[in-house]
Amino acid sequence: MNDDRRGQAGRGQPLSARGLRLCSLFGIDIFLDSSLLIIFVLIVYMLSSAVFPDWHPDWEASTTWLVAMAAGVLFFASLLAHELAHSLMSRRFGVEVHRITLFLFGGMAEMEDEPREPRAEFLVAIVGPLTSLALGVLFSVIGTSMAGPDFAGLLDEDREAALASLSPLATLMLWLGPVNIVLGVFNLIPGFPLDGGRVFRAVVWWLTGDLQRATRLATEAGRMFGWFMIILGVLQAISGLLLQGLWLVLIGWFLSNTASASYRMLVLRDLLDGVKARDLMRSRFGTVSPQMRVEDFVENHLMQSPQLLWPVLEEEHLIGLVTLEEVRKVPAGDRDMTTLGQVMRTDLGTLTLAPETDARRTFELLAVGGLPLAVVERGRVLGLLSGADAAKWLVLHQR
């Protein structure tokens, strides 16, 4: 039991933890990736130096800046609402989301698992863009009503005067509205990994009953759309709109890349479904005793074998682990007097796991530590597991 718990140590605290934890909403941790700062600065800069001065030449700099900052913050709040919609819908279908990360290209809800049926996938995917569209309409309606009944007519006649007449709050709403609508429409593009790609995949999956084929089609569409954006961006850049063009190229490149990467991820996920640490481990390995001298260990064990992680056993029970790291810390002159029991690691949590740990979790643990792991059940070491062992398994089981 004890070791099972050890093996699960760290579950719930994400291993890919990057960025800053902002808050927790509906039991979901909201994280901000550091790349978000770049896009926030860019948005605020663009708004305060170009968009708002164009709408309101008479505004004071401080007003322009304040509205631009508020717009930046509310933009990210809108992204968050979009991701929360995915997460809450996903929860309704029994797939938990523990964490949402907002990053350069929007947000990402980290789901524990893929939806298991087309209807769930469809609803989980489509609710995000629908939220963005709804927010877009809401902000636009609020902004227009704040602008007054004559605003639309005035906008047709004299755009500059119409925009200049807007209050700061109405300006904010009338910028956020269209932006959210664009966000919603962009995400509905039927290329994986965009939401529209997931919707498309769910429909094909539902029509054909073939998830693999649906995934392949949606990925192809995503890649094609990415390339389309790159070509469009290059054409724009050539025709003089350098910045807009480069921006399109960047997004297109990101899209086509993530399309391929998420396809590989999905194939891997299917492959690893139901596979446990027990299946991936190697059960022939060497062990050492706590009384062994470090010198003896280095010369007769560590240097004689490719094994990197050595379980230290006392009466068959795991009491510690030794790696190169512990040995390296002992000065060469002291190695004949020091025992492994004195230098071994005793905090086993990060280097051990239970045999029933699922393969995905196992891969995460391997990636984090960069060290092999010991598979432990009730204090007994059943096997060792390294990245190379897992890779061997993958090569043998790939279709």
Kindly list the residues in this chain that would bind Zn ion in the complex (CB under 5 A).
128, 195
For residues 111 and 308, which CB has a smaller minimum distance to Zn ion in the complex?
111
In the complex, least distance from residue 176 CB atom to Zn ion, rounded to whole angstroms: 17
In the complex, least distance from residue 17 CB atom to Zn ion, rounded to whole angstroms: 22
Question: H-type helices in 239-293, by residue range?
Answer: 242-272, 277-280
Q: What is the DSSP string of 155-182?
A: HHH-HHHHHHT--HHHHHHHHHHHHHHH
In the complex, least distance from residue 130 CB atom to Zn ion, rounded to whole angstroms: 10
User: Residue with the closest Cβ to Zn ion?
Assistant: 128
In the complex, least distance from residue 202 CB atom to Zn ion, rounded to whole angstroms: 14
Report the DSSP beta bridge partners of residue 317: 314
For the CA atoms of 146, 147, 152, 157, what is the dihedral angle to 10 degrees?
180
CA distance 74 to 78: 6
In the complex, least distance from residue 219 CB atom to Zn ion, rounded to whole angstroms: 17
CA proximity to 255, closest of 216, 228, 237: 228
For residues 90 and 357, which CB has a smaller minimum distance to Zn ion in the complex?
90
- Is residue 355 a contact partner of residue 277, using CB atoms and an 8 Å limit? yes
For residues 121 and 195, which CB has a smaller minimum distance to Zn ion in the complex?
195
In the complex, least distance from residue 65 CB atom to Zn ion, rounded to whole angstroms: 30
CA distance 373 to 25: 34
For residues 29 and 195, which CB has a smaller minimum distance to Zn ion in the complex?
195
For residues 128 and 191, which CB has a smaller minimum distance to Zn ion in the complex?
128
- Is residue 312 a contact partner of residue 341, using CB atoms and an 8 Å limit? yes
CA proximity to 49, closest of 39, 59, 38: 59
How long a stretch of residues is the chain?
A: 399
CA distance 9 to 378: 15
- A 10 A CB-CB count for 94 gives 11
- Is residue 240 a contact partner of residue 217, using CB atoms and an 8 Å limit? no
For residues 183 and 353, which CB has a smaller minimum distance to Zn ion in the complex?
183
In the complex, least distance from residue 226 CB atom to Zn ion, rounded to whole angstroms: 17
For residues 193 and 355, which CB has a smaller minimum distance to Zn ion in the complex?
193
CA distance 84 to 63: 31
